[in-house]
Amino acid sequence: MLGFLHGKKLPMVGSFFLLFSVVPLFVFPATGLSEHDAQRICQWALFVVAGFHSFKLRYAVSWRWMVVVAAMLGFGLASGRWALIESVHLILLLALFSVWTTSLRERPESALPQVYAGVAVCYLVLMLPRWAAVIVEGLPFHPQEFYFGFSNQRFFGHWVTLSLPMVVLARDRLAALTRSPWVLDVAMGAWVSFALASGTRGTWIALALAIAVVAVCGKGGRAFALRLIRCIAIGSVAYTAMFVLLPWMTGSIQTALPGVGRALEGAHSSGRGTLWLFALDGIEARPWLGNGPMSYAITDDTYARHPHNLLLQIAYEWGIPLACAIAALIARMLLLQIRRAISQDGRDPLHLALLAVIVGGLAQAQVDGILIMPFSQVCFVLVCAMLCSLQLEQKLPAGNGLPGSHFYLSVGILSLAAAQLFLMWPELSRFLEWEAESLAATGVPMYQPRFWLQGVIFPGWD
């Protein structure tokens, strides 16, 4: 919808994101599949589409990346079937990043923030009838039903973290095209208000850090940070009106909303300390090479299937040296991007928005499982690809790569996608029975998503 702004066709990468966002909401509920499974299936379909799309790209695969891929596959193969599935999945995410980066460099897509905003508006329109039923009809509030598309309502905060700066940027662009910009402010406020009502906490830590980083990026950065703060303020007012005053006036809310009260709890009752101590014990046992990909999901931990800390998870599963190397690369990348924004005095709002999303996503990944969820992974990869595509001074790799490697890249992506499907077939062939068995075996009356809906993996299943 908004992708056709100014007569432009919907961009290829924008189409990927739009389809991945909307299809699980409209199509999969009728199939009976869970939200997490629907997102994972769409993510796998994205890998296949990206494999075919890469046939048309000018891309050279370097020997360095070939070595990295071989090492990841070898480590996964040595660690068991589920570890190999995880290794293949991570390689496919890296390939998706490469395909999108190359595609965006060859065909820049300035309308991508509007695509983000269009998806957010679609979701808001779908949520409003449920909210109206609570207020007008007096129906009880059930968070799991209200935040459809997410197996846990607090996962909605992940979406806000990875989209709010882009939505604010889209609002600034669209404000000049409408005589009623306040409508855009109301939409932004509603987007934030639903995040407040969900009871998520990591989102506010992430957005606070993102605002602080953007604010140091010159005059334009401070202006963009103020617009983000303004959006959050409008959202707080919308939350008070929609989820406090109106329910109180109508007496329709029979189940208390977690809302701001839970967001103000901090780390209380979160279980993060237990998860992190459990991860540290595993790191101490095997500090150099780790316990293998997906190994945390095999542990006898009744809290979660991942430690809710990205660096701890990497150290636990892949070893301390790799975790330190990744942390150093991330820090170097962020410093370069911040320095670039400061040198430009924050005059590029798109660069600031992308930087805010990446900083927020990485910050929340240290206290939450934001980069574990399929939807969040796609959002984060897309934003990173768009940021890298803006570095026009960095030419496309050519001359030092494998000859004809765009063909090998396509074949490699499609082969890995097929291999992932083959490796998961023992579970996929009896999917509902497998999930029921895993749920009964754990004795935990809730699903713990990591790779598919129920993230618990028992050693005997390898």
Q: Where are the domains of the chain?
A: 40-107+379-443
Sign of CA dihedral 143, 145, 146, 152: positive
CA distances from 30 to 33, 310, 384, 452 (A): 8, 34, 33, 18
Cβ count near 173 (within 10 Å): 18
Count, residues in the chain: 462
Cβ atoms of 184 and 361 closer than 8 Å: no
Question: Environment class of residue 382 by beta-carbon count within 10 Å: exposed (0-12), middle (13-18) or buried (19+)?
Answer: buried
Q: Is the pLDDT of residue 257 over 90?
A: no
pLDDT per residue as tens digits for the range 88-109: 999 999 999 988 888 888 888 7
For residues 203 and 363, give the distance between their C-alpha atoms in angstroms, rounded to a whole number: 9
Average pLDDT over residues 324-341: 94
pLDDT at 274: 81
- Residue 337 contacts by C-beta under 8 Å, 6 or more apart in sequence? 351, 355, 358, 387
pLDDT at 133: 75
Q: Is the pLDDT of residue 450 over 50?
A: yes
Percent of the chain with pLDDT over 70: 78
For residues 45 and 28, give the distance between their C-alpha atoms in angstroms, rounded to a whole number: 14
Cβ atoms of 151 and 198 closer than 8 Å: no
pLDDT at 381: 92
Q: Is the pLDDT of residue 172 over 80?
A: yes
Helical (H) or strand (E) element with 205: helix 202-215
Written as six digits, the tokens of 18 are 């739009």
In 3D space, the residue among 386, 413, 202 whose CA is nearest the CA of residue 310 turns out to be: 202
Mean pLDDT for all residues in the chain? 81
CA distances from 144 to 88, 122, 152, 155 (A): 31, 19, 6, 11
Q: Which residue has the higher pLDDT, 123 or 97?
A: 97
370 pLDDT band, cuts 50/70/90, is confident
pLDDT at 449: 67
Most confident option among 15-29, 219-233, 390-404: 219-233
Helix, strand or coil for residue 454?
Answer: coil
Q: Is the pLDDT of residue 13 over 60?
A: yes
Cβ atoms of 442 and 434 closer than 8 Å: no
pLDDT at 156: 84
Predicted TM-score (pTM) above 0.85: yes
Written as six digits, the tokens of 410 are 């396509």
Q: Is the pLDDT of residue 348 over 50?
A: yes
Query: In the chain, how long is the greatest CA-to-CA distance?
Result: 69
Average pLDDT over residues 142-158: 74
